[in-house]
Amino acid sequence: MHHADFRFQAAEEKEQVDVQMYKDAFDKILKIVGVASGDSSLEKIVADFVKVEDQNFALFNYVTEMNNQARTCQSTTFKVQYSTVTCNRGIEH
């Protein structure tokens, strides 16, 4: 066998390994997503992903709003406590 033949055969084997690696990875993805959704079509997978991402974004916005309201309540509570302490000091004097 010539040196060029060895290189061609090695490149061909590497290509086959790469193709098999991609097929295996895709099969794993389909197995994970397909089992959860019951449908392994690419369009369905993408639609499910977008739906879940939209839900996650809505939950993120909800949590952010709740945190903002909690900060506002804490600030108001602090102001009321400060006013109460200041008012009580004025009465004591």
Residues of the domain holding 6: 1-38
Which tens digits make up the pLDDT trace of 32-89?
766 555 566 778 878 888 999 999 999 999 999 999 999 999 999 999 999 988 888 8
Residue type, 63: V
Same domain, 50 and 64: yes
Same domain, 93 and 50: yes
How far apart are alpha carbons 16 and 23 in whole angstroms? 10
- SS3 for 39? coil
Q: What is the pLDDT of residue 41?
A: 76
Same domain, 47 and 34: no
pTM above 0.85, yes or no: no
Same domain, 63 and 75: yes
Asked if residues 30 and 40 have their Cβ atoms less than 8 Å apart, the reply is yes
Same domain, 34 and 51: no
Same domain, 51 and 23: no
Which tens digits make up the pLDDT trace of 2-43?
666 777 788 888 888 889 999 999 888 777 766 555 566 778
Same domain, 25 and 62: no
Number of domains observed in the structure of the chain: 2
Burial category of 40 from C-beta neighbours within 10 Å (exposed 0-12, middle 13-18, buried 19 and up): middle
Same domain, 4 and 28: yes
CA-based nearest residue to 48, from 30, 63, 22, 23 = 30
